[in-house]
Structure 1
Amino acid sequence: MNIRRVRQILKSFADDTRLRILSLLDHGDLTVSQMCRILRKNQSNLSKHLMRLRLTGLVGDRRESLNVYYHLTNPKDPSLKKLLRSVIDSLSGLEIFKQDVCRLKTLKTKG
């Protein structure tokens, strides 16, 4: 990993919406429309954040029919894997992230 990549990854962690996306994806794959409902953000806003996370390699996607599902990647670099896990774990106790997870559970329950 080079300094430029490290900088890009750290910049990815420097935005509330991107942190919320990472936290949600830790609970499983989601579509943009699902994330829009949970995070209460518009699609164009979330798509920009997802693109940045994809470019850093923290998030991947897969297409199923008309839907694109986003997921956390499994970084090959052990230090990046540890950093990502540490960031996500440190967020779980914050109120906004608890609310996001609650809305996620409600969304999954309702189908």
Structure 2
Amino acid sequence: MINTSIEMERAALILKLLGDKTRLTMMKLIENHACCVCEFVEIFKMSQPSISQHLRKLKDLGLVEEERNSQWTFYSVDKSSEYYPFIKTILDQLPNQDEKIRELEENGTRIECC
């Protein structure tokens, strides 16, 4: 059996980051939909620097990955992260956030990465 446990200190840090409603919602959104900063600005009605700060914290911990596509950078959950099994159990308990993506599409503010 593979040992999938993580250090207590790392678990506490991840839980602290995910204790923020905005970051938790971001993680649920990008679990199945890559999003760029401008989409998060629209969804959360927050400034670009605030959104970037949230994403930086998640990226620094290795929870999200970024993919550049011309002028856009798209963020998604890093499912190859050693911490993914830990956060997946949390994300699985959360309500689906697809309606936020549908709203972007309906408003014409969804950016397709492909």
- TM-score, structure 2 length as denominator? 0.77
CA separation of 1:76 and 1:63: change in aligned 2, threshold 3 A: closer
What amino acid maps onto 1:36 in structure 2?
A: V
Structure 1: distance between partners of 2:9 and 2:92? 25
Structure 1 unaligned spans of 5+? 93-97
The match for 2:18 is: 13
The match for 2:88 is: 85
CA separation of 1:75 and 1:4: change in aligned 2, threshold 3 A: farther
**Alpha-carbon displacement from aligned partner over 1:60-85 (angstroms, at most 9, x marks no partner):** 111111111111101443xx333211
CA contact (8 A) 2:78 2:84 kept: no
Aligned-pair distance for 1:34? 0.6
Structure 1: distance between partners of 2:49 and 2:80? 26
Bigger radius of gyration? 2
CA separation of 1:83 and 1:44: change in aligned 2, threshold 3 A: same
SS in 2 for 1:33: helix
- 1:37 and 2:42 aligned: yes
SS in 2 for 1:60: strand
CA contact (8 A) 2:64 2:76 kept: yes
What amino acid maps onto 1:107 in structure 2?
A: L
- 1:70 and 2:75 aligned: yes
Q: Compute the RMSD of aligned alpha carbons.
A: 1.9
- TM-score, structure 1 length as denominator? 0.79
Q: Percent identity?
A: 24
The alignment of Structure 1 onto Structure 2 pairs a total of residues equal to 103
Aligned-pair distance for 1:3? 4.2
